[in-house]
């Protein structure tokens, strides 16, 4: 059973995932926590453990600029991949706190992971 430290919140944010080895991948953040996020994308070629940067624009009321956050691919599924976030810069943490306070919880049943990092 997977353990989470934070409740997942449902979001719908266009994002670009940058990976030095695979370039840029466009996707949509569909759930988000203080510790990670899930990107729906047409590809999940980024290997588990790869360092990535996720760039997205929250609502204007949350943050007036794009946020770029660093993390690692933690798992993959048929429809995208999960990213475990690294330590966030203070302005990113504040924007994430504001965004998450406005979003609904994700229903308990999640997209099944095909492979997971141990």
88-114 pLDDT per residue, tens: 888 888 888 888 888 777 765 554 454
87 domain residue, yes or no: yes
pLDDT higher than 50, residue 118: no
115 domain residue, yes or no: no
As for how many domains the chain has, the answer is: 1
- From the number of C-beta atoms within 10 Å of its C-beta (0-12, 13-18, 19+), residue 100 rates as middle
Q: Taking residues 15-30, what's their average pLDDT? A: 92
1 domain residue, yes or no: no
Q: What is the pTM of this model?
A: 0.80
23 domain residue, yes or no: yes
Q: Residue 15's domain is classified under what CATH number? A: 2.40.10.220
- CA proximity to 39, closest of 49, 54, 29: 29
3 domain residue, yes or no: no
Enclosing domain of residue 81: 9-107
Q: Determine the Cα–Cα distance for residues 76 and 56; give it in Å rounded to an integer.
A: 20
16 domain residue, yes or no: yes
2 domain residue, yes or no: no
Which two three-digit tokens encode residue 5? 């430290």
68 domain residue, yes or no: yes
- Give per-residue pLDDT as tens, 27-72: 999 999 889 999 999 876 888 999 999 999 887 777 778 889 999 9
């Amino acid at each position: 059973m997977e353990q989470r430290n934070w409740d997942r919140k449902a979001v719908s944010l266009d994002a670009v995932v940058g990976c030095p080895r695979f370039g840029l991948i466009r996707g949509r953040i569909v759930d988000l926590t203080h510790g990670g996020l899930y990107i729906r994308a047409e590809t999940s070629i980024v290997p588990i453990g790869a360092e990535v940067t996720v760039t997205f624009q929250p609502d204007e009321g949350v943050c007036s600029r794009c946020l770029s956050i660093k993390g690692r691919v933690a798992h993959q599924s048929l429809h995208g991949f999960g990213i475990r976030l690294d330590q966030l810069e203070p302005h990113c943490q504040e924007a994430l706190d504001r965004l998450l306070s406005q979003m609904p919880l994700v229903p308990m049943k999640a997209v099944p992971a095909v492979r997971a990092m141990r």
